[in-house]
Structure 1
Amino acid sequence: MTMASYFLAIGFWALMITHDLFCIVTLGMFYMFFLWIRFHKPGLLCLWMGLIVLSMFLCYPRTQEVHPGIYRIYQIKQNYVLAKNKDTAIIVYGIKDPNFYDCYYVSQIEPIDHLKNIHQFSFSDYMAKQNIYYCGRSHAKQFISSSHSLKSQLYSRWKENKVIQANFYGIYQEETPSILTRLGLPIIGIFYIFQRRLQRYISKEKVQIILLILMIGYGYLFVFTISFVRFFLLSFYTSFLKKRDIALSASIITFLCFFPKHATDFVFVFPILYRLIPYTNKRKQYRAFLLAISQLIYFHELNIPLLLCFSWIRTIHSYIVLCSLLPLGQSLTNVWYDWIQKFPLSHFHYVPGLLFYLLVIGFVLYPEKRKIACIGLCILPWLQPYMDPFFHVYMIDIGQGDCTLILEPFHQSAIMIDCGQSFYRDNVKDIIVPVLKDLQVKRLDALIVTHSDFDHDGGVTELEKMIPIQQVIRSRYEKPKVKYPFFSLLPKRETSDTNDESIVSYFSYDDFHYLWMGDASVQVEQELIQQYKLSVDILKLGHHGSSTSSSMAFLDQTRPKVGLVSVGKKNNYGHPSSTVIANCHTLGIHLFETRKEGMIHLFSFKGILCIETASHLIGIVKTSIMKP
């Protein structure tokens, strides 16, 4: 029964990961056949059929109606709160001094709007896992009522204590050491400390009951986070089920019933896999290996000092947090924070690819080949960029602005067109540099600045400070030093405004042709079609899809298969123009906008051009016959 319970839990977990009705039915039927071959137990198949039906119910799409009204705060973060009106939860911004269970009237509600870039954290996706898709604003004048509950009173008492705020409520300040944010809430470590101490004096069964009561009390007075719920469920089932394996399986199934969208979260996946590691002489090595693999998969970086010292740092931090509750504990906490800020951190960035996952699977399935798999996993991050045969074009989502990264196969060259900045955030620090690190781009061979508008060149100076750039191109007479065809069109032209000074880039690879227009207007487009006979497959529309560019005549003459628009949501300029969009549809041009799809990634190899977006669209754009 123990092994069967594992297979049921892992199978149900797989169904929740697919999160699609068709995939659930298909996978469920195949897995049922496997269970019958493996166990030959009709009762087990009945349980599995029940789990299939349950997973279909949990994953069935539901519409959510959100209306203005009175919302009650149930969770507090650094810059926003989460509030509910009946069963509907939203994000509320603008409340300066929130408290638990305070009620505010929210008059305007809109969908959550955040940038999306492939491999990067997506706030909107993160909130969607909590079934939160909308946000609103409120302020002191819209305050309705407050609560006098014990939870709100405790928060009022400790809201100035940054240590309590961070470690009991998960509200981190900007000055909180980054290494501590990676440890998660230390309350789980504190409960482990209590467990070890209490077991010296009373039986294990009584200790488990006491801890369960304390956990419920903690969740009521503070916050039931996802990781804490997972820990509580495992402790609960361990208290009443003698077999550890059955308790773990029951906790997995129960957790997924309440939080089906969190099936792939690090705080759920890593602890479960951590516990599934068998008791062997190499268990510590396997756990360290699992932590390293998990860091790369989820965070795209490996911090070796933190990896080696994670356990003892978390244990010490748990004791420090306990001491912070005492009158003299604050001074000790300050000393700890000062020391931990000086802890050496070494970040190695790497986004795992297909070969990486194949090596991990080989490590698990073939114990006799684990040394080879480990060696491969150690050297792969250094070699993978130089093993990539695809030509890549990334249109990075920076909001209302332009930034495109072009990577030649095997990392032979890296070119960026424009590096737009924003008045609302630091695009270079928060978006562009993290993308470059994840793609392991350590230098740029050329940065083409199409023209001097802030949303095109505003981040150039800052980017030069953070990454080596071999060539900064601001002249139409200059072109990047690459081996494939790359041209600046119409270098000699008379211009009447800044936008028409834009460098127009035309480049080709794998027999596909790309045209990047900058902010060039209809006048420049007319000169282009008069002087050149262009073959265009991918067109980056001029001026963010404005009606001043992308005329019907130009689109009809170039006839690209795909049109790209780099544009911010709800921009003040009305970009892109509805007329331009209609013209593209009329001519059969497939239009992709960063405001809808996030980052747009084009990649080609031997006559095949594919596209993927941060909104999870993927497909073949076009195939061509390569010239011999």
Structure 2
Amino acid sequence: ASDSLQGRLMRYVRNSPAKMAAFYGIREKDSLLVKAGWPVLAFLMVFENLLRRRMKPNAVHFCLLPPAILWGWLFLWPAALMRWVLFRLIRLSGLQPLSAWSVSVLLFLILQPEKAASFSLVFPALLQLCSITRRRSCTRQLMALLQILYFGSLSCSLIGGYSLLRLLSAASFALAFFDISLEIEWMLPEIPIPAAPVLLVVAAILLLRYMIMQKHPQLLLCSLLIMPVSPYLDPFFHVYMLDIGQGDCTLVVEPFCRSAVMIDAAGNLYRDNAESVILPFLEAAGIRKLDALIVSHEDFDHAGAVEAVQDGISVHTVIRDPTQPVPVEYPMLNLLPDRTSPDENEGSLLTYFSYDGHGYFWPGDAGILTEKLLMDTFADLPVTVLKAGHHGSASASCPAFLEWLSPDLVLLSAGRNNRYGHPSPEVITSLQSMNTARFCTAESGMIHLASWHGFLFLETAEGQVSCLSTPAGR
């Protein structure tokens, strides 16, 4: 919508699938090379080799850097291109290639730490490292390993010759200017390869051992390769409330990725939530399967994307019956499983779970009748984090229930400028009167909670980070 030069260029090329793939990395069918920002980078590398035959190295850098920077400003700064530009700028100072490579990676991680484990950084950076250290014989094994680590599959066409792959990628970029799409990954189909956590950790350890025994100083290579398996090395308990619009979707991940449970998967009338939000997030978080998908009730804003999620990722069990156990080792229960309810909202599954000394309560769209039943049934329900019922509607979260639970934090999942007026002013007023911290996806975007040995941290998509709780006496 912008009237900037970048906006006008986007509108000019958006009807060309070839240009959208080569210039912006956007295409209908996934491509590892496009994800890696490889087309433009491969074109620059091939052009650089041609210039080196007639010009000195520094002159080559001066010729290539301005158009590369201009390209990044006009179209996109993929991680691969930014690190390539940093490498060339550092080389102008006279540093040797290996030192310049190391410094460029470190500078990139300082500038964009959120992309530390991205395929678009790791894949081109490690291929360049193989070239600098004259270990090009390792490129095939490296490309195969990265595919398995990141995607759990192996495309045999991508482990062919490195030089041929680079030429084909450069050709696909050049042909895009003429609206010609060159499919590179067409030779052989992908072969699914289960990437078990133990196998990934063993592979990283063996690679580290090899690098040490060979007395190579590039130990940064090992750290980069371990990053894709970081979910299996993560000691934190995570709760992600996704910014799904007017609906609910929460992901709960146990430390070291021992289990992953999703609570609800909302549909959306204006987009495919599974394709646009849920499945890309699971992939980015390194989640390969869900142990359970709990459906609080069958409303579209809670269950509309369940089938699409099942089509996109392995789901061990879908839980719709409150008496069905959740297959995790920590306490995760559906409260009041035998109650009768006057309507579907009041019959929502009441998911309660606890970890690291913190209790979490996700009541779906259950309202005041269910809240009164909870107060009558339980003498106490230790809750640190409450997901407000019915998106913060006045039909739930009555003052007496909030006082009884006395949560430290209340989360609200609602769409921006939704037609229902969620969250309601009455609920906000009740929370303000109790001085209870609250966050809403309509204002803060995705909300992320992480706990470790009693510490509870909060992070929002808008950039707020805080420590909500610490162990007693600390």
Match of 1:316 in 2: 168
AA matched with 1:513: G
Kept in 1, the 8 Å contact 2:38–2:169? The answer is: no
1:545: how far off? Answer: 0.8
Match of 1:586 in 2: 433
Question: Where do residues 170-189 of structure 1 align in structure 2 (5 Å cutoff)?
Answer: 170=24, 172-174=26-28, 178-182=31-35, 184=37, 186=39, 189=42
Separation of aligned partners in 1, 2:234 and 2:220: 20
Decide which of 293, 297, 307 is 1:447's aligned counterpart.
293
Separation of aligned partners in 2, 1:213 and 1:467: 42
Kept in 2, the 8 Å contact 1:263–1:269? The answer is: no
* 1:575 partnered with 2:422: yes
Kept in 2, the 8 Å contact 1:349–1:440? The answer is: no
Kept in 1, the 8 Å contact 2:231–2:286? The answer is: no
1:563: how far off? Answer: 1.0
Question: Where do residues 117-516 of structure 1 align in structure 2 (5 Å cutoff)?
Answer: 162-163=17-18, 166-167=21-22, 169-170=23-24, 172-174=26-28, 178-182=31-35, 184=37, 186=39, 189-190=42-43, 192-193=45-46, 196-197=49-50, 203-204=54-55, 208=59, 212=63, 223=74, 226=77, 243=94, 280-282=133-135, 285=138, 306=158, 311-319=163-171, 322=174, 336-337=182-183, 340-345=185-190, 368=215, 385=232, 389-516=235-362
Decide which of 523, 528, 534 is 2:374's aligned counterpart.
528
1:457: how far off? Answer: 1.3
**Partner secondary structure for residue 421 of structure 2:** coil
- The C-alpha deviation readout for 1:448-474, integer Å capped at 9, x for no partner, is 221121111112223333444444332
Separation of aligned partners in 2, 1:262 and 1:373: 17
1:404: how far off? Answer: 2.1
**Partner secondary structure for residue 576 of structure 1:** coil
- The C-alpha deviation readout for 1:154-190, integer Å capped at 9, x for no partner, is x8xxx876545654x5485536x62452353745544
Deviates more, 1:208-217 or 1:305-314: 208-217
Kept in 1, the 8 Å contact 2:449–2:457? The answer is: yes
Question: Where do residues 33-112 of structure 1 align in structure 2 (5 Å cutoff)?
Answer: 72-76=3-7, 98-99=11-12
- Relative distance call for 1:236 and 1:454 in structure 2 (3 A) is closer
Separation of aligned partners in 2, 1:219 and 1:617: 32
**Partner secondary structure for residue 346 of structure 2:** helix
Decide which of 402, 413, 422 is 1:566's aligned counterpart.
413
Match of 1:92 in 2: none
Separation of aligned partners in 1, 2:69 and 2:298: 56
Separation of aligned partners in 2, 1:451 and 1:163: 43
1:432: how far off? Answer: 2.5
* 1:539 partnered with 2:386: yes
Separation of aligned partners in 2, 1:368 and 1:199: 31
- Relative distance call for 1:602 and 1:366 in structure 2 (3 A) is farther
**Partner secondary structure for residue 548 of structure 1:** coil
**Partner secondary structure for residue 507 of structure 1:** strand
AA matched with 1:181: V
**Partner secondary structure for residue 5 of structure 2:** strand
Structure 2 unaligned regions, length at least 5: none
**Partner secondary structure for residue 316 of structure 1:** helix
AA matched with 2:302: H
Give aligned-pair identity as a percent.
31
Kept in 1, the 8 Å contact 2:39–2:172? The answer is: no
- Relative distance call for 1:209 and 1:596 in structure 2 (3 A) is same
- Relative distance call for 1:358 and 1:585 in structure 2 (3 A) is farther
- Relative distance call for 1:342 and 1:286 in structure 2 (3 A) is closer
**Partner secondary structure for residue 167 of structure 2:** helix
Kept in 1, the 8 Å contact 2:335–2:350? The answer is: yes
**Partner secondary structure for residue 75 of structure 1:** helix
Separation of aligned partners in 1, 2:147 and 2:18: 27
Separation of aligned partners in 2, 1:273 and 1:472: 40
Structure 1 unaligned regions, length at least 5: 1-69, 83-97, 100-154
AA matched with 1:184: G
AA matched with 1:589: T
RMSD: 5.4
- Relative distance call for 1:612 and 1:465 in structure 2 (3 A) is same
AA matched with 1:417: I
**Partner secondary structure for residue 275 of structure 2:** helix
Separation of aligned partners in 2, 1:410 and 1:182: 26
Separation of aligned partners in 1, 2:467 and 2:152: 30
